[in-house]
DNA sequence: ATTAATGCAAACGGTTTGCACTACT
DNA sequence: AGTAGTGCAAACCGTTTGCATTAAT
């Protein structure tokens, strides 16, 4: 059997299943460390900081090295599975699966993050597209303010 | 003359003119270093990074020390003349005179920053206020995307 | 056998801190 | 004189880099 076989150890959740193949096609390699990071990423919805990813990886494998994580994130960004940008708290932040247009409402008081619907993202995109000839990156929208519970807490 | 005299050396542009007084009232001090920073800040419209402020101060006085700048920024934040938060590029950023509602369109490609009108800020604030019970901080809005010139450049 | 990827350790940039000294009041 | 503010230098944190080693192909 010289055909490309896939063992069950390579089974990954949907958007990630093509990664090993994508890598091998261009002579890159599918390593345990990369597999670990993918595993962590697949459990994340929306966004994470780099430091957070390092920490989560270390929870599964204490041997994890920051440089390896960041380097792998670079290649994943090339594939388009993550996209790094600014975070509401200032640090580098990775958006997982940026293909899905979404945004966040970040509470500057308690740090809570709320998702913005696609429709609302579209409204923002359109607002600035028409008036400024500015193409809003729908996957990067972060609005800072006070969340509902902090508002009512401060009223109490 | 025991009265509180102000020499012309203390004349500052409007929003900043009360700073020396504010400081002295609570036993804090009005120093050349603080005056320098105020001078730099008064020439800034909208926002700056801490590192940028350090650099600008050094242009006027090469002796400027980062720690002094940051410590003074803390004091000014207490007065409410600046407000620090996230920057579109990830670093700590200071909003000057945050009382004025405004926002920025940040080009992720070339780094250009365009101002958002008050009306547009209001539109965004309202959008999320009504649907999420989320009080948008109008002085913190930053939208990331591609500016007009980068768009036409990539089409060329 | 190749050569990509790893782990280490050191370097980085922006910001913060401890401490002895300076200078505003 | 008293004490807030300064400058220095070192520490900090998250991220990046160089390089020799390991391991996927």
Q: What number is the average pLDDT over the span B58-79? A: 95
The CA R_g of chain B, rounded to the nearest whole Å, is 19
pLDDT band, residue A73 (cuts 50/70/90): very high
Q: Which residues of chain B lie closer than 8 angstroms to A135, CB-CB? A: 145-146, 151
Same domain for B35 and B12? Answer: yes
What does the mean pLDDT of chain A come to?
Answer: 81
A105, β-bridge pairs: A114, A143
pLDDT of residue A1: 47
Same domain for B85 and B109? Answer: no
Kindly report the pTM of this predicted structure: 0.71
Q: What number is the average pLDDT over the span B62-86? A: 91
- What distance in Å separates residue A99's CA from the closest CA in chain B? 15
Contact residues, A window 108-137, toward B, CB-based 8 Å cutoff: 108, 114, 116, 120, 123-124, 127-128, 131-137
**Nearest chain A Cα to B112, which residue?**
A134
Q: What number is the average pLDDT over the span A108-119? A: 72
- What distance in Å separates residue A130's CA from the closest CA in chain B? 11
Choose between A8 and B13: higher pLDDT: B13
Q: What number is the average pLDDT over the span B62-70? A: 97
Same domain for A92 and A41? Answer: yes
pLDDT of residue A108: 65
Q: What number is the average pLDDT over the span A23-27? A: 92
Domain termination site, one of B50, B68, B96:
B96
Read off the CATH number of the domain in which A80 is found: 1.10.10.10
Whether residue B53 lies within 8 A of chain A, CB to CB, comes out as no
Q: What number is the average pLDDT over the span A69-95? A: 82
Same domain for A90 and A107? Answer: no
**Nearest chain A Cα to B86, which residue?**
A90
Read off the CATH number of the domain in which B142 is found: 3.30.1490.190
Domain hosting residue B130, numbered range: 103-155
pLDDT of residue B55: 95
- What distance in Å separates residue A71's CA from the closest CA in chain B? 19
Domain termination site, one of A96, A113, A134:
A96
**CA pseudo-torsion sign A9, A12, A17, A19:** negative
Q: How many domains does chain B have?
A: 2
Ranges A103-107, A114-118, B30-34, B131-135, most confident? B30-34
Is a pLDDT exceeding 80 seen at residue B106? no
Same domain for B53 and B112? Answer: no
Cβ distance B86 to A88 less than 8 Å, yes or no, reads: yes
Same domain for B79 and B143? Answer: no
Same domain for B64 and B138? Answer: no
Cβ distance A128 to B144 less than 8 Å, yes or no, reads: no
Same domain for A39 and A91? Answer: yes
pLDDT of residue B38: 96
Residues A114-121: contacts with CB under 8 Å, at least 24 apart = A114/A147, A114/B132, A114/B134, A115/A46, A116/A141, A116/A143, A116/B128, A120/B127, A120/B128, A120/B131
Same domain for B91 and B116? Answer: no
**Locate tokens 């041997």: which residue?**
A63
When CB atoms are compared, the residue of A91, A142, A148 closest to B134 is: A148
pLDDT of residue A76: 95
Determine what percent of chain B is predicted with pLDDT higher than 90.
Answer: 33
């Amino acid at each position: 059997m010289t055909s490309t076989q896939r063992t069950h150890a390579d089974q990954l959740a949907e958007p990630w299943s093509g990664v090993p193949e994508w890598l091998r096609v261009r002579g890159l390699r599918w390593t345990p460390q990369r597999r670990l990071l993918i595993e962590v990423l697949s459990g994340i919805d929306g966004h994470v900081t780099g430091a957070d990813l390092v920490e989560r990886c270390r929870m599964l494998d204490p041997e994890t090295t920051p440089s390896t994580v960041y380097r792998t994130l670079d290649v994943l960004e090339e594939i388009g599975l993550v996209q790094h940008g600014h975070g509401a708290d200032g640090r580098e932040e990775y958006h997982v699966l940026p293909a899905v247009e979404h945004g966040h409402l970040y509470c500057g008081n308690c740090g809570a993050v709320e998702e913005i619907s696609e429709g609302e993202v579209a409204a923002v995109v359109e607002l600035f597209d028409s008036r400024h000839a500015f193409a809003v990156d729908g996957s990067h929208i972060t609005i800072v303010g006070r969340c509902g519970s902090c508002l009512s807490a401060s009223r109490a």
